[in-house]
Amino acid sequence: MKRKKTKAVAVDQSVQAKPYSFIEETMEKKLEDISTVLCSVGDGKKRKSRLHEEVLIMVERCLFKIALKRNGHVKSAAANYLGINRNTFQKKMAKLGISRESKS
């Protein structure tokens, strides 16, 4: 009995993994384009790259805007949607320069 249950779980996980791999492949292609643009912008001086930091900020800002939009711009609901604490959500909103009224 245990074998059948284990096999069913393994099948379920592989089925669930397929949509995620498609999403990851799509994101990788888009991030390749984004990183090319971000790396080409500059003054020609050799300096430490901020690519990782810049991309994370962009992704986080987009996620916060999506969460707010999908939850009627209610911060506590948007925080719950993202799976983070409301206070953390509010602090990050300020850090990312997102206002509650920002509907763009």
**pLDDT recorded at residue 93:** 96
Q: Are residues 64 and 84 in the same domain?
A: yes
Residue 79 burial (CB < 10 Å; 0-12/13-18/19+)? buried
Write out the E strands in the chain: none
**pLDDT recorded at residue 101:** 56
Query: 41-65 pLDDT, tens per residue?
Result: 766 666 678 899 999 999 999 999 9
Give residue 64's identity as a one-letter amino acid code: F
* Euclidean distance between CA atoms 45 and 33, whole angstroms: 22
- Asked if residues 79 and 85 have their Cβ atoms less than 8 Å apart, the reply is yes
All residues at 6 or more sequence positions from 76 whose CB lies less than 8 Å from its CB, including other chains: 86, 89
Q: Are residues 104 and 59 in the same domain?
A: yes
* 64 closest CA partner among 47, 77, 46: 77
Q: Are residues 40 and 3 in the same domain?
A: yes
CATH number of domain containing 62: 1.10.10.60
* 64 closest CA partner among 93, 87, 88: 93
* Euclidean distance between CA atoms 60 and 101, whole angstroms: 18
Q: Are residues 1 and 34 in the same domain?
A: yes
Per the structure, the complete domain to which residue 8 belongs is given by: 1-44
If the chain, 104 residues long, is cut into consecutive pieces of 10 residues, what is the mean pLDDT of each piece? 52 64 94 90 72 94 97 97 97 91 51
**pLDDT recorded at residue 10:** 55
